[in-house]
Amino acid sequence: MTRRDEQALLERVEALLAEPDHAGHPLHEVLEALAAQYRSQQHQLERLISISDRYQQLALEARQVTQKRYERSLRRQQKLSRISDGYQAMMRERNQALHQASTHDPLTQLANRRLIDERLRQLEAAGRPYTLALLDIDRFKSINDRHGHDVGDRLLVAIAATMREVLRESDLCGRWGGEEFILLLAETRLDEARRIVERLRERVSAVTITSCEERLSVTLSAGISEHRIGERHLTTLQRADQALLEAKRNGRDRCLTADR
């Protein structure tokens, strides 16, 4: 029976009870008590339902407040983590830039003396074989004197770019001084190093830049030395330097290996 049916039945009972003809009927009193009992129960049930509805409403509101608070705090955390990510990325970039600046030459972007020194020490400590070459641009002063320092700089940058192109990933090329470069060829014997440096010398001599409609190019002299087991890298460097001096004395635009 639905609630509506129950209500209709109760109304019928109450209507019957209200009829004067039924007053004094033996069932009148019992039925009246039953109807009153039913009304009271119905009232209590409605109160319970209303309390339960209010409780559910309160629980729903509490859940919504908690949900909103949670979403607000989540948005705040997401914003904080975006700021922190951005900050970390900026720090990473700055660290990389600092590392690049401390290990590379600002003009040519080649490795600087500090990085080359570090690699030489590492190779020496690890006992790994290597050959190194010192390369010096020939008569570079005359380029600066005739065309100015800026043109000299452009030529240095073009030469450095060619060196990067010619060399293997594993080779390290650095700017050793003003117009002097160094190559560090790990796991490379003297003969192979000589071939590499010769190729580099030819490629550098083909590099040209234009200044006042004049095409400028230069040549390179190089001294090559293979590291000997147990010797300090400074000694290897000194031999390469000697070979470079010899190359200059012998007319430049050439590549000499140190005596073994």
Ligand X SMILES: Nc1nc2c(ncn2[C@@H]2O[C@H](COP(=O)(O)OP(=O)(O)OP(=O)(O)O)[C@@H](O)[C@H]2O)c(=O)[nH]1
Q: Is 179 among the residues known to form the active site?
A: yes
- Check binding of 113 to ligand X (CB under 6 A): no
Write the binding mask 156 to 185 for ligand X: x where contact by CB under 6 A, - elsewhere: x---------------------xx------
By C-beta, is 86 or 178 nearer to ligand X? 178
* Count of residues near ligand X by CB under 6 A: 16
Out of 12, 94, 141, 168, point to the residue binding ligand X (CB under 6 A). 141
Out of 130, 133, 135, 138, point to the residue binding ligand X (CB under 6 A). 138
- Check binding of 86 to ligand X (CB under 6 A): no
Question: Which residue is catalytic, options 179, 180, 202, 231?
Answer: 179
- Check binding of 105 to ligand X (CB under 6 A): no
Phi/psi-derived region of residue 148, left when phi > 0, alpha when psi is between -120 and 50, beta in every other case = left
Report the interface residues with ligand X, using CB under 6 A: 107, 136-141, 144, 149, 152-153, 156, 178-179, 248, 252
As annotated, the active-site residues are: 179
